[in-house]
Amino acid sequence: MRKFIISFFAKLLMAATAHGILIDERTPDSCYQVAADEHHAVCQIKLIKNTKGSTSSGTGTLIGKRLVLTAAHVVEGMSSIGIVRFASNEGSHEQVRRVTSFYMHPGYVKGSHSGGVDLAILVLESPITVASPRPMNLRGMEKNFSWMSCVGYGKTGTISSGINETHYQQLAKETRPIIKEIQRYLRSGLICTAAEKNQVLTSQLNALSKGAFKRFIVIPVEKTSTVNGMQYYIQKVKDMKPATLQPHPLYGIPHQGDSGAALINELGEVVGVLNHIINDSTVCWIDIAPYAAWIEAIVEKHEQRKPIC
């Protein structure tokens, strides 16, 4: 069983389309989605990576009226435009904002999820009014083990059978015309003014983002000492036994499609940011506490206040 799980996650890591949260088939997916709708500060990130119309998706968390915390590898290579979308799974309370700039931690090593401080903060064009910033724990957690939660966007599947690609292949087919339109606007400078082009691209990225749902999962995590020079919170997938795959009704396993999603402690505070998988078998969130000074400086610059902690 252990070899099967390791092999299964190795395949997920290599397959570009196999992203998302794996849930227990004994709990309806709707339960995960309803629980996620209570987390208004979680947003979907959609970016255009290059002039060929390549797009990237991730998850972020509102930490200021115009600031979103995410992973650096989500925004690496961002070109002309990006948006964040706050909405329930039913589409209510929806707000979309342009990303005007972003900060990647100076300790991040480009092209490597595990080679540096994988943190980024996005700056939005205007404040978000449908959600309040999520408090952060910048002091660090004292306990070595705890039950925490995570909310992320992207594909879903079951722990036993993996990602079901049928729905997403159909979704890709339906959104292909939008991708072609994005490519057309990026390659031609004569179709409209820069402002009009940005407006069109924002609308099209928003349309692409509506195919994804956010899901809330509860997970058992441990705090590591140091891995690759950084502190992590980890979920040891490979050590899970079949009889204990559902220690909580909303147990789940996140994957790369949820990169940048916050790890939230029992007090509702952000303590980590979803980073990557170590050795194909351990999901890890980078601990934000060691980088409190960097986060505080950006929040104070744009919000004229201390971070909410």
Please tell me the predicted confidence (pLDDT) of residue 64: 95
Report the percentage of the chain scoring pLDDT > 90.
37
Is residue 55 pLDDT above 80, yes or no? Answer: yes
Q: Is residue 240 within 8 Å of residue 5, measured between CB atoms?
A: yes
Binning pLDDT at 50, 70 and 90, where does residue 15 land?
very low
pLDDT in tens, 240-267: 444 444 568 898 888 656 789 999 998 9
Average pLDDT over residues 132-159: 85
The residue that leads in pLDDT, 45 or 223, is 45
Is residue 82 pLDDT above 80, yes or no? Answer: yes
Report the percentage of the chain scoring pLDDT > 70.
82
pTM of the model: 0.87
Q: What is the DSSP string of the chain?
A: -HHHHHHHHHHHHH-TT--SEEE-TTS-HHHHHHHHTT-TTEEEEEEE-STT--EEEEEEEEEETTEEEE-HHHHTT--S-EEEEE--TT-TT-EEEEEEEEEE-TT--TT-TTSS---EEEEESS---SSPPPPB--S----SEEEEEEEEEE-EEETTTEE--HHHHHHHHHHHHHHHHHHHHHH-SSSS-HHHHHHHHHHHHHHHHTT-EEEEEEEEEEE-S-BTTB-EEEEEGGG--GGGS-SSTTBEE--GGGTTPEEE-TTS-EEEEEEEEETTTEEEEEESGGGHHHHHHHHHHHHSS----
Is residue 14 pLDDT above 70, yes or no? Answer: no
Is residue 155 pLDDT above 50, yes or no? Answer: yes
Please tell me the predicted confidence (pLDDT) of residue 72: 92
Binning pLDDT at 50, 70 and 90, where does residue 4 land?
very low
Q: What domains sit in the chain, N to C, each tagged with a CATH number?
A: 2-163+209-303 (2.40.10.120)
Is residue 148 pLDDT above 80, yes or no? Answer: yes
> For the chain, what is the mean pLDDT?
81
Please tell me the predicted confidence (pLDDT) of residue 247: 65
